[in-house]
Amino acid sequence: MSDTPNTAPDAAGTAPGMPIAPASSEAPDSNRISRYGWHAIILMSSAQMMSLLDRQILSILANDIRADLGIGDAEMGLLYGTVFALFYALFSLPLGRLVDGWVRTKLLAICLAGWSFFAGLSAFAQGFTLLAISRLGVGIGEAATQPAANSILFDSLPKGRRGLAMGGLGVGLALGLGLSMALGGVAAEWWDNRVAAGGANFGFAGWQFAFLVAALPGFPLAWLIYKLREPERGAMDGIKTKPDPAPFKASAGVLGAVTPGTNWMNLWRHDAGAKQWTINLVGLAVIVGFCALMVQVTSDFSPRPPLDFGAVSISPHVLQWSVFGFGAFVVLNLFQNFRLTDKPTFKVALNPSLLLLMVMGGLQTAINYGVMFASPQILIRQFELSMADVGLQFGLLSAVLATIGALVAGPLADWLGGKMGTRGMIFLVLLSLGISPFFGIWTYSAETLSDFYLRYTVFSLILTLWLPPTYALLLGLALPRMRGIIFSTYLVIMTLLGQGLGPYVVGIISDQNGNDLAAALISLMWVCPVIVALLLIVLTRYGKDEASMLDRARAGGEEV
């Protein structure tokens, strides 16, 4: 694989301040989407669909996996959230850097084929260890998906249609969510009732067969994306960027800079001063102390038996908070690496609105992942549905609702942006996340199946409105050459707070309260006032922070 890109920018890990090449023409004024743009939307949305399909299918299969492997809700939360989140968060950074420097279409195709392989590997799991390894591999492969897809679409569509592009990605996520449940539930039950019941199960349980079925479509899709033409970076913004001379070297540099242990070599190699060393070591001590405290608190709240990894046994709470601490230290190392190697990106990344949106997205994602982790199991346990029924009813309903929401939210975000500027997009996010917790509490208090579905329909439609405008707002605060690494930074924070904590917190509350997942979800809604407060701050300052983006980059040495 060559280290020479066809069109790529500089980013973290290369010489700071590389000038952006002047555009040969102004950014396009037309809002017309080209045939290539529609083609890119379809393929990027399909990649998002496969990403969520292979990630989310664990939730519909959780009860059968628990029964076969003899583990609890907290351990399933670790598999669904924490184990996946660790490697997803860590590798999103070097892969996000590679998005900013190499051929994005080829990178996404390679990663898609890789995570499809590891998703299929889950079918051969006979215990917690191999299932954890397969989740690890899926997490690494999927880490490039959103940075690559967002970057490709921002360079394929006019500025005024980017809300639609983010809505298209939302449709892909919705379809992946629905298919994960429908396909997982139907495939598993068909195998158990038809094949295994006939004595020809070939050594597979239904949940293992479902993993195989979910993994297979990723390979032909990877080939189609590999053949997609790479769009010209920055052309839609009138800011074309020079090719990156060594994207793989820079990507490896980012991985070494953020990984605990090798990060100190990075500090030494870049002659970090006493202040940077102090920040790093004091920060590490604070993270270790916080995680040790949380191990004690959660162990006292919900005692769990140790997990066996061969000859080694470890408390699930120790594993959970070790992963969280690892990720928090990665974030600290990332910002220090920006400071040492790419001051323009460092200055842009410290934009207050950008940081607030990242934290807000992480907290809301904790609720979203908690909902999608627990809802299928609530339907099975509380309302006594079969896996196939849950897959067909809840899975397809979720897919339809999320698709409608994404199709509405994307164009609505564009329309509000045209009428009110970015404040219109922020109002849309505030509306969605400000009222959704009330409908969430209402939904998970339902006592009948029909009431649950009716309430969930309203809750889901409201909740789907926040993501497309949030992504557009986030990426609007980054220069084209920084979009991959900035979005990867968001993914790390979002994954730590969202997927790393949401399912785990729901799981331990459920274990402690007699396996009551509905009550655990209602408890999680108490984070919503914090989300609203962060959005109100963003509303007051986003315009000023957006206007300061180029000045921040220039202050770091960028020639724009």
Strand ranges in 97-211 using DSSP code E only, listed in sequence order: none
Average per-residue pLDDT for the chain: 80
**Res 190: pLDDT:** 80
**Res 109: pLDDT:** 93
Higher pLDDT, 459 or 550: 459
Interatomic CA distance for residues 350 and 347, integer angstroms: 5
Interatomic CA distance for residues 354 and 486, integer angstroms: 9
How much is the pTM? 0.71
Higher pLDDT, 65 or 75: 65
Tokens of 326: 């690892």
Interatomic CA distance for residues 271 and 513, integer angstroms: 52
Encode pLDDT of 487-503 as tens digits: 878 888 887 888 777 77
Q: Tell me if 375 is assigned to some domain.
A: yes
User: Among 186-200, 343-357, 435-449, which is the least confidently predicted range?
Assistant: 186-200
Q: Tell me if 478 is assigned to some domain.
A: yes
Q: Tell me if 560 is assigned to some domain.
A: no
- With a cut of 50, say whether residue 322 has pLDDT above it: yes
**Res 108: pLDDT:** 92
Tokens 């274990």 locate to 511
CB atoms within 10 A of CB 313: 10
Range(s) of the domain holding residue 341: 35-555
Which residues contact residue 451 at a Cβ distance below 8 angstroms, ignoring those fewer than 6 apart? none
**Res 202: pLDDT:** 61
Average pLDDT on 239-246 reads 71
Encode pLDDT of 381-404 as tens digits: 888 887 778 777 887 888 788 778
Which of the four pLDDT bands, split at 50, 70 and 90, describes residue 11?
very low
Which residues contact residue 482 at a Cβ distance below 8 angstroms, ignoring those fewer than 6 apart? 9, 11, 100, 344, 345, 348
**Res 550: pLDDT:** 84
Q: Tell me if 41 is assigned to some domain.
A: yes
Tokens 């029964």 locate to 67
Measured over the CA atoms of residue 552, residue 555, residue 556 and residue 558, the dihedral's sign is positive
- With a cut of 60, say whether residue 204 has pLDDT above it: yes
Average pLDDT on 442-465 reads 90
Q: Tell me if 157 is assigned to some domain.
A: yes
Q: Tell me if 288 is assigned to some domain.
A: yes
Interatomic CA distance for residues 353 and 545, integer angstroms: 6
Which of the four pLDDT bands, split at 50, 70 and 90, describes residue 5?
very low
Q: Tell me if 192 is assigned to some domain.
A: yes
Cβ contact 61:181 at 8 Å: no
User: Among 12-26, 141-155, 260-274, 284-298, which is the least confidently predicted range?
Assistant: 12-26
Tokens of 101: 């420097």
Higher pLDDT, 381 or 118: 118
Q: Percent of the chain scored above 70 by pLDDT?
A: 86
Residue among 363, 502, 494 at smallest CA distance from 74: 502
Cα–Cα distances in angstroms (integers) from residue 32 to residues 49, 158, 443, 466, 473, in the given order = 25, 7, 40, 25, 21
- With a cut of 60, say whether residue 200 has pLDDT above it: no
Encode pLDDT of 423-451 as tens digits: 998 999 999 999 999 999 999 988 899 99
Cβ contact 552:351 at 8 Å: yes
Average pLDDT on 216-245 reads 80
Could you write out the DSSP letters of every residue in 428-457? HHHHHHHHHHHHHHHHTT--SHHHHHHHHH
Higher pLDDT, 540 or 58: 540
Cβ contact 501:366 at 8 Å: yes
**Res 8: pLDDT:** 35
Cβ contact 295:340 at 8 Å: no
Q: Tell me if 12 is assigned to some domain.
A: no
Cα–Cα distances in angstroms (integers) from residue 271 to residues 24, 259, 267, 342, in the given order = 39, 18, 6, 14
User: Among 240-244, 297-301, 325-329, 530-534, which is the least confidently predicted range?
Assistant: 240-244
Domain total for the chain? 1
**Res 77: pLDDT:** 65
- With a cut of 50, say whether residue 278 has pLDDT above it: yes
Specify whether the backbone of 230 is left (phi greater than 0), alpha (psi in -120 to 50) or beta: beta
- With a cut of 90, say whether residue 455 has pLDDT above it: yes
Strand ranges in 152-255 using DSSP code E only, listed in sequence order: none
**Res 17: pLDDT:** 40
CATH number at residue 375: 1.20.1250.20
Helices 517-524 and 502-512 cross at an angle (nearest 10°) of 130
Interatomic CA distance for residues 503 and 432, integer angstroms: 22
Average pLDDT on 95-102 reads 83
- As a residue count, the chain comes to 560
Burial 226-254 (b: 16+ CB within 10 A, else e): bebebbebbbbbebbbebbbbbbebbebb
Specify whether the backbone of 203 is left (phi greater than 0), alpha (psi in -120 to 50) or beta: left
Residue among 40, 451, 446 at smallest CA distance from 231: 40
Which residues contact residue 507 at a Cβ distance below 8 angstroms, ignoring those fewer than 6 apart? 72, 73, 74, 75, 76, 77, 78, 373, 520
